[in-house]
Amino acid sequence: MAKKPRNRRGAGPARAGTAGQPAPAAASAGPAPGPAQGSASTGQTSTAQLTAPADADKSTAYPGQRFGLPQRGPGSVASMPRRLLALLIDWLLSMLIAYWLTHSQFWTIVVFAIEVYVLTATTGFTVGKRLVGIRTVRTDGGPVGFGWALLRTAILLTVVPPLLTDRDLRGLHDRASDTIVIRV
């Protein structure tokens, strides 16, 4: 006696029929017919509606979950608007310092690079990050350190990689240095 296949809910086969016969292609492939096509008269539903999607667990995931971070509040992954505001504050501060020191804004990128490198390596904060309440840490919770901060800053200065984020809102510079930006 052959066993009948069960759907994910364990309620028997998803569609009535004899075991061993494949379901008709029209009933299992493509979207379910709409009201104009007479779906009420057929009374059949597609199997896709009866089973949960394979990536159902990913739909409830939140940034930082795989690192054991909370969903909200202190220790959660910093949002992109907070990160951009911190970047803007750091850039404006670097412009002011560069102009004050050299009477030229040409040196802004150098001042910005030094500020981000030194402060991220030693404290995990830059001035902008401190003001908006976020911090850079290693994914294991430790400090960033000088070597990883140098790599992170070098990639950050190329502009585009920080914009390419993953599901944990980590840019390429964060992934390369194994860091994550969290709320304080």
How does pLDDT run along the chain (184 residues), one tens digit per residue? 555 555 554 554 444 444 445 444 444 444 444 444 444 444 554 444 444 444 445 567 899 999 999 999 999 999 999 999 999 999 999 999 999 999 988 999 999 999 999 999 999 999 999 999 999 999 998 899 999 999 999 999 998 888 899 999 999 999 999 999 999 9
On whether residue 14 sits in a domain, the answer given is: no
Same domain, 54 and 78: no
Same domain, 110 and 151: yes
On whether residue 77 sits in a domain, the answer given is: yes
Same domain, 124 and 174: yes
- Domain limits for position 89: 70-183
Helix (H/G/I), strand (E/B), else coil: 103: coil
- Indicate the number of domains in the chain: 2
Distance, CA of 9 to CA of 141 (rounded, Å): 40
Same domain, 37 and 123: no
Same domain, 53 and 74: no
Question: pTM score, two decimals?
Answer: 0.66
On whether residue 25 sits in a domain, the answer given is: no
Helix (H/G/I), strand (E/B), else coil: 75: coil
Distance, CA of 55 to CA of 43 (rounded, Å): 28
